[in-house]
Amino acid sequence: MGRTARIGDPCDPEIADMTARLDGRIALITGASSGIGAACAERFEREGARIAGLDIAPQPEGSPCEAWREVDVRDEQAVSQAITSLAESLGRIDILVNAAGVAGGGPAHELDQDEWDRVVDINLKGTFLVSKHVLARMVAQGSGNLVHLASVEGLMGLEGALPYNASKGGVVLMTRNMAIDYGRLGIRVNCICPGFIETPMTGLLREPGLEPIQKAITEAHMLGRMGQPQEVAAAAAFLASDDASFVSGHALVVDGGFTAGHRFGTSEVLASLAPEG
């Protein structure tokens, strides 16, 4: 017997995949080895796209990517060469998803410059460098579509994640700037701001001893759970498809209500104080 879906359940990929909105499109996905990037590769392939992957890590077994380059997104020469050879091997690049990224941080007075550089260079400069070399091709072809992975931490502060938050705030503004610069050239640029998603990046939260922090973070999502990478991939597929043909310069929050506001249990307390009858 089928399970009854509840509001807030992760989307069922079988139900969500009613269309093939990316039929014939060529998508380059960075960070495609893991987590959200890997989920985007699977989702985009099911929606009819052909996929190229770019990651510092090797291509995982079973990945749907037709072509793969092991590249550090901070290395402009390697990025440029990889994009040239991937575009030649697949014919063109219609969609870029920038999902390569790292977590990291600490309070300012304890933060090494090396750690600042690592996080900001991968998350912000890497997104810029890959976009730069893909955009040059999209400008020449007169069409294209960029989806950057920002974060709710690019919209609001979060304890202990200074360079991460700064880098993701930069990605949100870079999205808007690129949308301005390239809109008249037929190129849409958007970003996604996920809440906490269950991927290797958030694996630390699942370590023994960190249950109270994981519980507090989980409860800060109004749906009462963390997200799944497939739920972010579904939003990326929407933004990359013609369903979002008039959407550009947007930061799409996919956060289970994390940024909706605060919840202190006031309603429950007030209900318990209300006179009976």
Which pair of structure tokens corresponds to residue 209? 């001893």
CB of 170 to ligand NAD, least distance (A): 12
Position among 57, 136, 156, 204 found at the interface with ligand NAD (CB under 6 A): 57
Kindly report the number of other CB atoms within 10 A of residue 113's CB atom: 7
CA-nearest of 189, 28, 163 to 100 is 28
Q: At what angle do helices 162-182 and 113-120 cross, to 10 degrees?
A: 30
Shortest distance in whole angstroms from residue 251 CB to ligand NAD: 12
Q: How many Å apart are CA 277 and CA 272, to the nearest integer?
A: 13
| Cα distance between the two ends of the chain | 41
Q: How far is the CB of 133 from ligand NAD (least distance, A)?
A: 14
Q: Which is nearer to ligand NAD, 10 or 37 (CB)?
A: 37
Interface region with ligand NAD, contact rule CB under 6 A, candidates 50-58, 86-94, 132-140, 268-276: 50-58
Catalytic residue ranges: 164
Nearer to ligand NAD, 114 or 276 (CB): 114
* Per-residue x/- track, 193-212, ligand NAD (CB under 6 A): -x-xx-xxxx----------
Q: Applying CB under 6 A, what is the total number of residues that bind ligand NAD?
A: 28
105 counts as binding ligand NAD under rule CB under 6 A: no
Largest CA distance in the chain: 74
Judged by CB under 6 A, does residue 35 bind ligand NAD?
Answer: yes
Binding piece for ligand NAD, criterion CB under 6 A, among 19-27, 131-139, 180-188, 191-199: 191-199
Could you give the angle at which helices 126-141 and 76-90 cross, rounded to 10 degrees? 40
Answer positive or negative: Cα dihedral of 189, 148, 25, 17.
negative
Question: What is the SS3 string spanning 200-253?
Answer: HHHHHHHCCCCHHHHHHHHHCCCCCCCECHHHHHHHHHHHHCHHHCCCCCCEEE
Choose, by CB under 6 A, the member of 10, 33, 50, 134 that binds ligand NAD: 33
The reply on whether position 73 binds ligand NAD by CB under 6 A is yes
Would you say 5 or 258 has its CB closer to ligand NAD? 258
Binding footprint of ligand NAD on the chain (CB under 6 A) = 31, 33-37, 55-57, 72-74, 99-102, 122-123, 126, 149, 151, 194, 196-197, 199-202
